Amino acid sequence: MAREVECDRTVIKETFRKLGEINFFSLALPRSHGGCGESVLSSVVAVEELGRASAGLALLFIENIVAADILAYYCAGPIREKYLGPLLKGEIVGGWGFSEPKGGSHSNAIETTAVRNGSNYRLSGTKVFITGAPIVDVMIVYARTAGNKLTAFLVERNTEGFRFTREEEMMGLQGAACGELQFVDVRLTADNLIGEEGDGVKILNFVAPRAKNYTAAVCLGVTQGVFDCSLEFARQRRVHGASKAGLELVQKRIARIASRLQAARWLVYWGACLQEKGALTNLEASMIKSYLSRVALETAEDGFRIHGSYGYTRSCEVERLYRDAIGLQVTMMANDTNDGIVGAALLDRS
């Protein structure tokens, strides 16, 4: 599937619909909010399996889960009724726009504004590295309102002034369809507000830990993929008439991958259990995402070494996984940023 996505984007929306039919986007959402009421762990495992097949697509699917969660918990009335069902069914693609050209993913650096005029707003600004930018149907957009308040809005793609400007040509994570969006004097009504003015920080604190732990699950899927293809290659490849699996160096690399994989899996599942109890904070989620993405890259390096020259060819699965693992270092906040969150929080506690 991953190679197909790299060459043909038309499969993405078809996959959305298929996942909607099996309730992928609503697994962990409580029944009281329109979901299936299954455990968070079941949803995390589902994301992990998709990440194993295509990390880029899995990141795109996470955006839809996150957008649906925001609508389910923070919206009421017309917006919730109009969009939540289609998001959960995979009939439309949802996303959220936070990162900007000058400040990246730092909330204090957001320059997009929503100026109120009576009961309406005029939204203006630019969002970059937005997952699903070329195909998204509805966006959760963060902007500054009066008093420098961070506020979230829901914006339809067909709204006048909503512009998709370019798609980034990335090394990996092709299915994520990452790009830039511009909002040029977009007219919104009070119905487009998510929550109240100034609720942006509260909504962000709600959704960021979830998104980071789901991203960590994607990293786990990549790590599992590296382990699987490396194990198979080592067993099948023969060097000087002997199985490569008999080489001590290869055995050590396989052992490292296996131990990292197991430790990473328990960390992600711990995050799922915390989320289930409503106890997952940005501290734990930042720690989990940063560690899991590093594990994915370290194991991809070992997997590449096991494959030798074959690992550098496009026909080899580990080549794609390696490129995806590099991209995961900067997805859902760069690791340095997440590490800074963790360090600052821990030092502040002492």
What local confidence, expressed as pLDDT, does residue 39 receive? 93
Report if pTM > 0.95. no
The chain-wide mean pLDDT, for the chain, equals: 89
Q: Which domains does the chain show, CATH number per domain?
A: 2-93 (1.10.540.10), 95-197 (2.40.110.10), 201-349 (1.20.140.10)
Q: pLDDT class for 106, splitting at 50, 70, 90?
A: low
Choose the weakest-confidence range: 157-161, 166-170, 190-194, 244-248: 244-248
Q: What is the mean pLDDT of residues 311-326?
A: 92
What local confidence, expressed as pLDDT, does residue 5 receive? 60
Q: What is the mean pLDDT of residues 45-59?
A: 93
Answer yes or no: is pLDDT of 246 > 90: no
86-99: pLDDT as tens digits: 999 989 999 888 88
What local confidence, expressed as pLDDT, does residue 3 receive? 61
Which residue did the predictor score with more confidence, 284 or 245?
A: 284
What local confidence, expressed as pLDDT, does residue 239 receive? 73
SS3 for the chain, per residue?
A: CHHHHHHCCCHHHHHHHHHHHCCHHHCCCCHHHCCCCCCHHHHHHHHHHHHHHCHHHHHHHHHHHHHHHHHHHHCCCHHHHHHHHHHHCCCCCEEEECCECCCECCHHHCCCEEEEECCEEEEEEEEEEECCCCCCCEEEEEEEEHHHEEEEEEEECCCCCEEEEEECCCCCCHHHCCEEEEEEEEEEEHHHEECCCCCHHHHHHHHHHHHHHHHHHHHHHHHHHHHHHHHHHHHHCEECCEEHHHCHHHHHHHHHHHHHHHHHHHHHHHHHHHHHCCCCCHHHHHHHHHHHHHHHHHHHHHHHHHHHHHHHCCCCHHHHHHHHHHHCCCCCCCHHHHHHHHHHHHHHHC
What local confidence, expressed as pLDDT, does residue 141 receive? 93
211-230: pLDDT as tens digits: 999 999 999 999 999 999 99
Q: pLDDT class for 210, splitting at 50, 70, 90?
A: very high
Answer yes or no: is pLDDT of 14 > 70: yes
What local confidence, expressed as pLDDT, does residue 6 receive? 57
Q: pLDDT class for 119, splitting at 50, 70, 90?
A: confident
Answer yes or no: is pLDDT of 190 > 90: no
Q: pLDDT class for 272, splitting at 50, 70, 90?
A: very high
Q: What is the mean pLDDT of residues 290-316?
A: 93
